[in-house]
Structure formats: structure tokens, C-alpha cells
Amino acid sequence: MDVQENAYNKRTAAPTQPDATWRRFKYPQSLYRYCALLLVLAFLAYAIQALNIDLARLSGFFGRLGELFSQRYYPPDLDYIMRPKYLHSVIETLQMSYLAAVLGIVISVPVSWLASYNMSPWKRVGYPLARLFIMGCRSVHEMIWTILLVAILGYGFLPGVLALTLFCIGFTGKLFSEAIEKIKRGPVEAVRATGAGELSVFVYAVLPQVRVAWAGISVYTWDVVFRAATVVGFFGAGGMGWYLRESMQLTALHDVAAILLSIIIVVIISEVLSAWVRKRVARAMA
């Protein structure tokens, strides 16, 4: 600090003596913070103990993992995934996830509007119902949805697609409604001030603000649904999950590796594609 700066400090500090005891966290808060920290640590210790987690097993973790991948998963059995039957199941999986994602997203638009705290047009009844619906969809794992729906509807793609649709609503509905909850209030107020109805407010003040976020979430959702679709076949709901289960059961890890590889390839292709689509969509929406 140079001389000038000190001089300035003195001069500005001179007229009044500001409270020299200012603290970022005043007394009770500071205590609460330490208590909270302590509680978190105690909870961690308790949880580890209650779940019988033996941390000693982590020693040599990466070595074992490396060995596992280099010896048992590598090399992936590429012939396995090049069989037409398998490739056909990949197409089916893609179709299933596509269909479920489109259905789920279409259903999610009105549901998430109802389920957004700030913009719900029907707060008393619609809001809690929509929330509960989204939560119900989300509380059941996609594999369990599959098992349940297979039990009800029998084997085939129908229970698979439905399970994925429900899964998709649980996921998208929540993200969509959260995107709505984050919008700026200004434009909403401006549109409301013109005397527009709730639907117009949604179309003009909400949609333009969430459009890009929603497009992103939708593409991402498809991604997530696709990954989920790779396992609904475990329980007879169609797609490549069947092959994954078979090779896992047979501990044919080279096949498992190959299947994972094929999933990753599809995902990467879809990611490149979706980045491109998103760019196009963003431009088209501008």
C-alpha cells in the first residue's frame, strides 16, 4: 500500500468510527454453523457404521478396478454386437426411447405448468395434484415400473414404452416446472399488466423464457430415457436390455463390454446430433 492510499484511509475513516466489531456471521448464526458442520460429520460416521460399510475394502480400489477392466472387460467382443439380431434390438431400443420421450415430454408440458409454484394457473387443486403425479412417477425406478407393468400388461414393448413414459414424466415434469420457477418475473408482470389471460401469459412470458432450457432438458431427457431403455428389456419389455442381462448372467464380461460400447457409441452419436439440433432449434427460435 502506498502513502497516498494510507492517507486516504485516514481521511475517510476520520469523520465516523464504523462498528469495528462487524462480523459476517453474528453470534447465534456462527454457533449454528459450527453445530451444523458437526452434525453433518456425526451423520456421516453414523451412516457408514449403520450400513456396515467397511472402508478398509477401498484399499487397492483403483488397482482392482484397473485389473478388472484390462483383463476381464477388455477386449470387448465386437462380433457380439455386430450380429443383425443385436443391431435390430438397438433400433428397437432407440424407437422405444424416442416414443416414450415424445409422449412423456408432451404430457409434461401442461403438467409442469400446473406444477410450477409461481405460474400454476390452478394453485389450489391443480398444483398439488400435478406435483403428486410427477412425484409418483419419479418415486418408482424404471426397472420396477417395468416389472409392475409387465405383470399387468404382459410381455412386449407396450409395458416398456409405458414404463419409460412414466419415468420420463417424473424426470421432465420436475425439471420443466423448475425451469418455470426460475423465470424472471418482469416480463410476466408486463404481459399480465396488458390484461392477458393465463394461457397468454404462459405462451408469451413463460415459454420464451424457458424455451431454450426446455429444449435442452428435452434432448437430455431423451438421452436419459434411452439409457433407461437399455435395461427395461431385463424383464421382458423388449430391446437390448435382454442381451445385457444375458451376458451379465453368464458373466460374459467381454460381451457386456461390447454392449456398453455400443450404448456409448449411440449416446455419443446422439449427443453430437442433439448438440446440432439444439443449435438449430435455438437459432430457429430466436
Provide the mask over 62-101, with x wherever binding to another protein is found by CB under 8 A and - wherever it is not. --xx--x---x-------------------x--xx-xx--
Residue of 41, 82, 125, 268 that binds another protein (CB under 8 A): 268
Task: Reply yes or no: is the peptide bond before residue 208 cis, omega within 30 of 0.
Answer: no
Residue of 3, 22, 27, 28 that binds another protein (CB under 8 A): 22
Q: Any contact of residue 216 with another protein (CB under 8 A)?
A: yes
Distance, in Å, from the CA atom of 79 to the CA atom of 245, rounded to the nearest integer, reads 18
Question: Residue 72's CB: how many other CB atoms inside 10 A?
Answer: 12
- CA distances (Å), 281 to each of 17, 112, 212, 226, 274, in order? 58, 21, 8, 21, 10
Q: Any contact of residue 204 with another protein (CB under 8 A)?
A: yes
Compute the least distance from the CB of residue 82 to another protein, in Å.
Answer: 19
Compute the least distance from the CB of residue 6 to another protein, in Å.
Answer: 10
Whether the CA torsion 166, 171, 172, 178 is positive or negative: it is positive
Q: Any contact of residue 109 with another protein (CB under 8 A)?
A: no
Neighbouring residues of 188: CB distance < 8 A, sequence distance ≥ 6:
119, 201, 205, 206
Q: Any contact of residue 164 with another protein (CB under 8 A)?
A: no
Provide the mask over 111-150, with x wherever binding to another protein is found by CB under 8 A and - wherever it is not. --------------------x---xx-xxxx-xx--xx-x
Distance, in Å, from the CA atom of 281 to the CA atom of 66, rounded to the nearest integer, reads 41
CA 191 vs. chain centroid, Å, equals 31
Provide the mask over 168-197, with x wherever binding to another protein is found by CB under 8 A and - wherever it is not. ------xx--x-------xx-xxxxxxxxx
Distance, in Å, from the CA atom of 169 to the CA atom of 112, rounded to the nearest integer, reads 9
Q: Residues 24 to 43: which contact another protein by CB under 8 A?
A: 24, 43
Compute the least distance from the CB of residue 127 to another protein, in Å.
Answer: 13
